[in-house]
Each structure stands twice: as structure tokens, then as C-alpha cells.
Amino acid sequence: MTSEAAIRILRAAGRPAATWKNGGGVTREIAAGPEGAGMDDFAWRVSLAEVTAGGPFSVFPGVDRTLTLAEGAGMDLRTGGVRRLVDRRLEPQRFPGDEPTDCRLLGGPVVNFNVMHRRGAVTAETAVVRGDLALTVRPGETVLVVALEGATELDGSAELGPYDAALMTGPRELGLRSSGCAAVVRLAPSRRPA
């Protein structure tokens, strides 16, 4: 994360799909920090997962996840032996990425908006917003806006179509307008006690 204010548009078209080892779906990475980080060394990672079959989720030691059902009927998850029904669209749900998680699809394929961050290194907050929002990006913070449904406009200039994203660093203030809904993900370095 950089301290210099910047905004970058990340279009959904052309994102490569990474096929899962278990064959149950594909993931399309939207953004990661630090840029270019792989699965073993990311501080945070945001992606869309197209789940076509039930089965176990990958385990990520020391990682927390926030999953938002974007398309489909949903999933019945068992995380660390505890049942979690994910059947309401556009409602972020947090769970530990290092707990064994098994998935059963409720009514066919789904698309999940997935935020992962390393516990103790980065904090991540995910919200789904509708309509107009005055968005403040604080110094040292990274904010990712992803259009989940309908179009999203930033400051009347940059328009995001379905699953397009805008990656911003602070400080900055801008207006966001969504004709449907958008995910706003706030990422910041964790503050460790002295």
C-alpha cells in the first residue's frame, strides 16, 4: 500500500481464470497486495469465484475471509464443523480461512465475491452499498470498489460495469453512485500494540 493518492480502473474483461485443483470451479483475481503477490505471500487478495460443484475449500493458514454471494441460490457450508447457510445474496459473511470448510451448493452454480487478508498484517472491511455514497479514502488506506450489480459511477467520470473495479489509495474523497450495488473493501495495515 502506497501513501501517494492514486486510482486505477480494473476491468473485468480479460481477467484470467485459475482452475481449482479439485475441479469445482475457477477463480478470477481482481487485485492483490502487494501487487503481483502469489497465493503464498499475499497480504490481501480480492477475487471472484465461480463455484460449479460442491466440495472442500482450500485452507489458508493465518488468513481471514469475507465471502459475499453475488449470483446463484447459495451454499451450505461447514466451517470447522459448524454449519453456515449462505443463501442471501449481497450480504458479506466472515469466517476463518484456516478452518476446514466444505461446501454443498443449494441450487446450482454460484459466483462469490471473496476477500482474504492475513490476520495481524492487514485489516479488511467489506460493505455492500446501494445508491449514492460520499467515500473517503484515508491516508495509508487502500479501497477497492467493485460493481456487483448494475453500473457504478465514481465522481461522475469513471463508470464501472458488472465486476469492474476501482483500486484507490488515500488520501482522497469522491462520490460513488450505484444503479444496483457495489462492494466497498477497505484495507489497511494492522496496528500492532507497542
Per-residue pLDDT of the chain (194 residues; tens, 9 = 90+): 344 567 899 999 989 999 987 778 999 999 999 998 988 899 999 999 999 999 999 899 999 999 999 999 999 999 988 999 999 999 999 999 999 999 999 999 999 999 999 999 999 999 999 999 999 999 999 999 999 999 999 987 789 999 999 999 989 999 999 999 999 999 999 976 54
pLDDT given at position 23:
79
Residue 104 and residue 72 in contact, taking contact as beta carbons nearer than 8 Å = no
Burial pattern 58-81, b for ≥16 Cβ within 10 A else e, equals eebeebbbbbbbbbbebbebebee
pLDDT digit string, tens, across residues 113-123: 999 999 999 99
Residue 20 is classified by DSSP as: P
pLDDT given at position 24:
85
For residue 187, give the nearest of 11, 32, 15, 4 by alpha carbon: 32
Q: Domains in the chain and their CATH numbers?
A: 14-118 (2.60.120.10), 122-189 (2.60.120.10)
pLDDT digit string, tens, across residues 159-174: 999 999 999 998 999 9
Within 10 angstroms of residue 182's Cβ, the number of other Cβ atoms is: 29
pTM, 2 dp = 0.93
| C-alpha distance from residue 68 to each of 118, 126, 175, 187, 191 (Å) | 18, 9, 23, 17, 26
Average pLDDT, the chain: 92
Within 10 angstroms of residue 36's Cβ, the number of other Cβ atoms is: 8
